Amino acid sequence: MRRLTTHPPFSSSNTLWDWHRAVNPVKVMAHFCVLEFCKCVPHLGLKNSIYRFTGMKVGKNAAIAPNVTIDFFYPELITIGDNAIIGYGATILAHEFLTDCYKTGEVVIGDNAMVGANATILAGVRIGKGAKIGAGSTVSCDVPDGKTFVMAHRIE
């Protein structure tokens, strides 16, 4: 189950054209620059401090690998628990702009959870303590404590 708040559109066009009405453009530009910089910062402690500056909640000894994409519209809706690992190239989103509305939702990644490389975590999802997300997975539902979530595709 995803916990999303639905917001009405600002005009008749799709909501992405009106993003600047949903979020302060100066805040978005600042977050974008800071979060892009974090993609290449190798020092985990420094990187976590910078993430916290954007409003993200980052737990003790959380490890966020290089090239991770964090939602620059709503980083304050993202919580990463103690000792969690976010793998290379993962994406964590706390919003969705759709043609007829936009949605926001808090993302919580529990203590000791592991998100594999290039996984995508969608808005409104909770990943439990000790849960494991397989590389390349798209997570659109909650993952209970200690469970493993793998999205596998068979190509013939």
Q: Total domain count for the chain? A: 1
Angstrom distance (rounded) from CA 12 to CA 54? 31
**8 A C-beta contact, residue 84 and residue 55:** no
pTM above 0.75, yes or no: yes
Q: Which of 146, 129, 145, 127 is nearest to 137 (CA)?
A: 127
Q: What is the pLDDT of residues 65-118, one digit of tens each?
A: 999 999 999 999 999 999 999 999 999 999 999 888 899 999 999 999 999 999
Residue 47 located in a structural domain: yes
State whether residue 55 is helix, strand or coil.
coil
Residue 155 located in a structural domain: no
- Print the domain residue range for 24: 15-145
Residue 60 located in a structural domain: yes
Chain-centroid distance of CA 88 in Å reads 13
CATH of the domain at 83: 2.160.10.10
What's the sign of the alpha-carbon dihedral 61, 65, 66, 71?
A: negative
